[in-house]
Structure 1
Amino acid sequence: MFSVWKISLLFMASLALTAATIPGKKDRRPLGGWTDVNVTENDSGLQKALEVAIREHNKASNDQFINVVTNVIRARRQIVAGMKYSLNVQIAKTDCRKSDSTPENCTESELSRLSQHKRCRFVVYLVPWLKKEELKQNNCD
């Protein structure tokens, strides 16, 4: 049977271990908060979110031509019951017609000479284990 002394020592030791693993205030983020994604790294989740965003944007657009992402300005992710991505990007119209091509086959090298870049904010929700992909927000200037 444990004595009060042994229980106190165990409590103090567990308290010390807990305190040692708590990061400093500057490292703390609220649980479920947004974190930046390094856009220069090949992040598979980010690539999937960009693919879903531009595919769904093109479906919703009345334009005859396919748009592609030309620049990722900022990307953030939030862990929820899956992963949510907030993407600030530039897009541009290509010479590829929706009726003749798919976005995957139409690249930035086929940008229309008359195309102007638009800035867009997309929010994409991904749940890979359920194969769920959803564009939650699609705002372009």
Structure 2
Amino acid sequence: MGAECWRSLLLLLAALVLTAKLDRFQRWGGFQEKSKSQKNMNSTLKFFIENYNNVSNDTYLFQVDKLLQSYMQLTTGVEYLATVKISRTKCKKNSTKSRSCPQQSEKKLKKSFICDFLIYTVPWMNYYELWNNSCQEAH
């Protein structure tokens, strides 16, 4: 067998391997709706709200009120696409008190948002990355 024949066989083998890999990725099926329970979402929601509070200019901390919608997609990790309702708490950002913060009850300080976010995570490595986030004031 000459070098040309070996090269052709290697190209054919590479094409077969690539086809098998692409077929495997296509079977993942994109985003799948998940239960609205917070099971398996707690660490992702915690990462989201910590990130939100860190970049927010608000004096008070916000907390996740309710998980409204949740989708998951397997890639090289796990992607979560979710919609949550978050609300302002009575705890100030610089407070060193316990993190069990009741929701704001004073009418002029009450504030809620509906937020959509996309988080990429590799849970077995405790790695999270916020890829997209948008919030609108809730009415």
TM above 0.5, yes or no, is yes
Question: Cα distance, 1:123 vs. partner?
Answer: 1.1
Tell me which residue corresponds to 1:106.
100
Instruction: Assess, with a 3 A threshold, how the Cα gap between structure 1 residues 101 and 39 changes in structure 2: closer, same or farther.
Output: farther
Q: Deviations over 1:53-96 (max 9, x none)?
A: 11101111111110001111101111011111011011111110
The one-character-per-residue Cα deviations of 1:84-127 (angstroms, maximum 9, x if unpaired) are 1011011111110110148x8133x3434331221111111111
Judging changes above 3 Å, is the alpha-carbon distance between structure 1 residues 31 and 53 closer, same or farther for their aligned structure 2 residues?
A: same
TM-score scaled by structure 1? 0.69
What is the one-letter code of the residue matched to 2:115? C
Preserved contact between residue 87 and residue 103 of structure 2 (Cα < 8 Å): no
Letter in 2 for 1:35: Q
Structure 2 residue runs of 5 or longer lacking an equivalent are 1-25
Question: Could you say if the C-alpha distance between residues 30 and 112 of structure 1 is closer, same or farther in structure 2, counting changes exceeding 3 Å?
Answer: farther
TM-score norm. by structure 2 comes to 0.69
1:75 corresponds to 2:63: no
Q: Identity of paired residues, percent?
A: 27
Across the aligned residues of Structure 1 and Structure 2, the Cα RMSD in angstroms comes to 2.1
Matched, 1:37 2:30: no
Q: Which residue of 1 aligns with 2:90?
A: 95
Q: Which runs of 5+ in 1 are unaligned?
A: 1-28
